[in-house]
Amino acid sequence: MKILLVAINAKYIHSNLAVYSLAAYAGIYAGQIEIAEFTINHYEDYILEEIYKKKPDVIAFSCYIWNFNYVRNLVVDLKKLLPNVPIWAGGPEVSYDAACLLENLPQMQGVMVLEGEKTFLELASHYIDEAMPLEEIKGIAYRTDDNCILQNSPREQMNMDDIPFCYFDIEKFKNKIIYYETSRGCPFSCSYCLSSIDKKVRFRSLELVKKELLFFIDHKIPQVKFVDRTFNCNAKHAREIWRYILENDNGITNFHFEIGADLLKEEDLELMSRMRPGLIQLEIGVQSTNDATILEINRAMDFTMLRSVVEKINSFENIHQHLDLIAGLPYEGFQSFKKSFNDVYSLRPEQLQLGFLKVLKGSQMHNMADEYDLLYRSNPVYEVLSTKWLSHDEILQIKKTEEMVELYYNSNQFTMTIRQLELLFENAFDFYSALGDFYEKKGYAGASHSRIVRYEILLEFAKAHDWEKTCVYKELLLYDLYLRENLKSRPNWAADL
């Protein structure tokens, strides 16, 4: 008997914590459980062939919004090739309408709903030992032999300490980002987020967490990303972990946390001020600075406090901060979003991550879609198309702006030049928006340009807007270039400098 857990990740460097956690919890069947990881960059034909060649007896897919289109297509074709192999799914993309999914995808045998470790263990027992009938397994929806669809009672939440550590065979994760969790659930109620459904936050004991962190530190893992939804919602828990990381720093490992910046206390900031540059990085969800929007999405955020904290951390010059915005939220029109962008941009984070609202099944935002005149893509990733406050044309303009922010700001390759170019515009949003328009007008949009070509395009843009200072922009671009490149000769546009 072989049960194959299949993960289709967004990038090669990612690992899938879910499938490894399921396999570790079902460790008594270790010899009969195999994991296969792919990425969305693989051709579907390749994934189909690789799964087929493994000759599994049961297949279970880990499902998220970024991979479910692949999963759905694979399930249909795998059932043709392996008609007697039951195919299961689990994960956030399939947990909130499991019965409906089974009705629409008759090739699928069942769905593991929400938290999956105990459920998967019992499912493995059902297939391997024939010990537990499906009707007795909590937390599943499934198809019976006579093609009826049943959904069993939900499973009780797990004790976090009962989940085994899944990284002991660390060689499997060489050159991969390690994902690690010390808590599940979120105390907040953001309407766009599925984590708000599970308001009871459960924590792994600090004794166990420290032991596992030391394993990562001893093995000099390059990066560990904590997947806790708001890592510092329990200040004492977070502070103790930060202190432990500081005291056991190996000079190599970077730890990434998603936090609420306005929840940080002076004691936390004092700890952070003493950390090695690169020891931690912080992802901070701002989402909007419009008070009406923040209130409507049930988000708890004090932007004045957040600004103060972000500026304080910036002054340490040792911690990368990634600040997030979401376009398409209720009460956020184009001018309001522009203000939110400029508010956050003024904090000069190392990364400004500009995302677009995803209307997730099971979220309050999904339930309020009609009231907000919220139109969104019918298939994953369910991205916003327009709202009562934001037209599709405006969303397209924001998308152009986002692409320029990603290419020219988040790359950290054009710092000095951008600072000068921004002075030509009323605000930062207008600069990146104009640059996006320039890309579109010149036919550069949608193409993959080399780094050197991006310098050339930025010089062309500068000439179009400030011809008299062409020499200044050439010097700034050359300065930016040599900060990051060891070129044997100057580029053509700088030959006269």
Say whether both 358 and 228 belong to one domain.
yes
Residues 175 and 324 in one domain: yes
| Cis-peptide into 344, omega within 30 deg | no
Q: Do 354 and 445 lie in a common domain?
A: no
pTM of the model: 0.94
pLDDT at residue 485 greater than cutoff 90:
no
User: Do 358 and 420 belong to one domain?
Assistant: no
3-state secondary structure of 442: helix
Q: Quick one: pLDDT at residue 494?
A: 78
- Position 428 scores a pLDDT of 98
Residue 338 inside a domain? The answer is yes
* pLDDT per position as a tens digit, 375-433: 999 999 999 999 999 999 999 999 999 999 999 999 999 999 999 999 999 999 999 99
126/80 same-domain check: yes
What is the reported pLDDT for 486? 78
Q: What is the CATH number of the domain that holds 268?
A: 3.80.30.20
**What percent of the chain is predicted at pLDDT more than 90?**
91
Distance CA 367, CA 387 (A): 14
Q: How far apart are CA 402 and CA 416, in angstroms?
A: 20
- pLDDT reported for residue 197: 67
Count CB-CB contacts under 10 A for residue 86. Answer: 20
Q: Residue 15's domain is classified under what CATH number? A: 3.40.50.2300
Instruction: Among 358, 390, 422, identify where a domain stops.
Output: 390
pLDDT band at 346 (very low <50, low <70, confident <90, very high): very high
What number is the average pLDDT over the span 317-341? 98
Angstrom distance (rounded) from CA 84 to CA 364: 39
Q: Residue 134 has what DSSP assignment?
A: G
Structural domain count, the chain: 3
Return the pLDDT at 10: 93
**158 in a structural domain:** no
- Indicate the pLDDT class of residue 467, thresholds 50, 70 and 90: very high
Confidence bin at 490 (pLDDT 50/70/90): confident
Domain of residue 455 covers 413-497
**Residue 256 shares a structural domain with residue 333:** yes
Confidence (pLDDT) at 402: 98
Confirm whether 165 is domain-assigned.
no
Residues 481, 379 share a domain: no
Check whether 246 has a pLDDT greater than 90.
Answer: yes
Whole-number mean pLDDT of the chain? 96
User: Is residue 160 one of the residues assigned to a domain?
Assistant: no
Per-residue model confidence (pLDDT) at position 377: 97
Residue 398 forms part of a structural domain: no
Of 168-182, 234-248, 373-387, 475-489, least confident by mean pLDDT is: 475-489
Asked if residue 315 belongs to a domain, the reply is yes
CA distance 74 to 17: 21
Q: Do 230 and 371 fall into the same domain?
A: yes
Judge if 334 and 376 occupy the same domain. Answer: yes
- Tell me, yes or no, whether 213 and 300 share the same domain: yes
Q: What are phi and psi of 474, to 5 degrees?
A: -60, -45
Looking at the fold, whether 181 and 253 belong to one and the same domain comes out as yes
Residues 105, 239 within the same domain: no
Range 356-392 burial, b when 16+ CB lie within 10 A, else e: bbbbbbbbbbbebeeebebebeeebbbbbbbbebbee
pLDDT tens string 67-97: 999 999 999 999 999 999 999 999 999 999 9
Is the pLDDT at 196 greater than 70? The verdict is no
User: What is the model's pLDDT at position 484?
Assistant: 85
C-alpha count within 13 angstroms, C-beta hemisphere, residue 261: 26
Is position 34 within any domain?
yes
The confidence score (pLDDT) of residue 474 equals 95
142-160 residue pLDDT tens: 999 999 999 999 999 999 9
pLDDT category of residue 198 using cuts at 50, 70 and 90: low
Q: What whole-number distance in Å separates Cα of residue 460 and Cα of residue 245?
A: 46
Cβ(101)–Cβ(108) under 8 Å? yes
* Position 397 in a domain: no
